Amino acid sequence: MKVLIVDDELPARQRIADLLADIDLGYTLLEAGNGLEAIGVVEREHPDTVLMDIRMPVMDGLESALHMATLDPAPAVIFITAFDEHAISAFEANAIDYLLKPVRLERLKQALGKAVLIKRPVMSQVLAAEGQKSRRTHLSAISQGKILLIPVDEIQCFKADNKYVSVFRDGREILIDDPLKNLEEEFADLFLRIHRNALVSLAHVTTLEKNADGSYLLTVRGLPEKLQVSRRHVAEIRQRLKNL
């Protein structure tokens, strides 16, 4: 069995590796130093199980597991954490296994014996329980069987069309599964609703202008066309831009 150990601290990874060796010398062990690096290892090596710390720089374990859950097949994930009340409550509510630091041999054996695949909706619930602490740094889409990660700070806008939401970034349009309403709630301080079907990045807005017919258009850096603004959102847009 292939097992990926993910922790930003080398001694913590080594301790888990030593415990796994005590359980079974036949394990193939892989390592990663953060959640972003772990996604790359999962795509290349296809481990059966991921033992992953929650709190890590670059990308934490919760967000990384959310992206991994889009793969087919996805690995089973067991979280490792110092006591974190919100995450643990969400894990228990959704039958997700976790290990508390310092990890004990018998408990690790139990967790490996019942590790299960974690579905994306379940990880979304865990992230929601975590609140703003776990706001994602990236969004993800599947492209040719691979995870395409989209840095949130590079996104210019989101547009909804029927059941689909498109991300606009660097001249590309990418379809994602996230509902527009959920994106608005998660990234409320970064994106602004300008229309019932569109959110724009405050960091990429350049001008808001009024046409002769009384309509409003927004210029977003990097987008070739100006975006139509609903009149009901004009006052809020002006205030948010004023406060930048």
Show the domains of the chain with their CATH numbers.
Answer: 2-131 (3.40.50.2300), 150-242 (2.40.50.1020)
pLDDT of residue 232: 92
The secondary structure of 27-71 as a DSSP string is PEEEEESSHHHHHHHHHHH--SEEEEESS-SSS-HHHHHHHHTTS
Write the pLDDT tens digit of every residue in 38-62: 999 999 999 999 999 999 999 999 9
Q: Is the pLDDT of residue 85 over 80?
A: no
Q: Are 176 and 165 in contact (CB under 8 A)?
A: yes
b/e sequence 70-84, b meaning 16+ C-beta within 10 Å: bbeebbbbbbbbeeb
pLDDT of residue 83: 72
Confidence of residue 25 (pLDDT cuts 50, 70, 90): confident
Q: Is 95 helix (H, G, I), strand (E, B) or coil?
A: coil
Span 52-78, average pLDDT:
93
Q: What is the pTM assigned to this prediction?
A: 0.87
Average pLDDT in the chain: 91
Rounded Cα gap, residues 19 and 35, in angstroms:
21
**Weakest mean pLDDT among 120-124, 156-160, 188-192:** 120-124
Task: Answer positive or negative: Cα dihedral of 223, 228, 231, 232.
Answer: negative
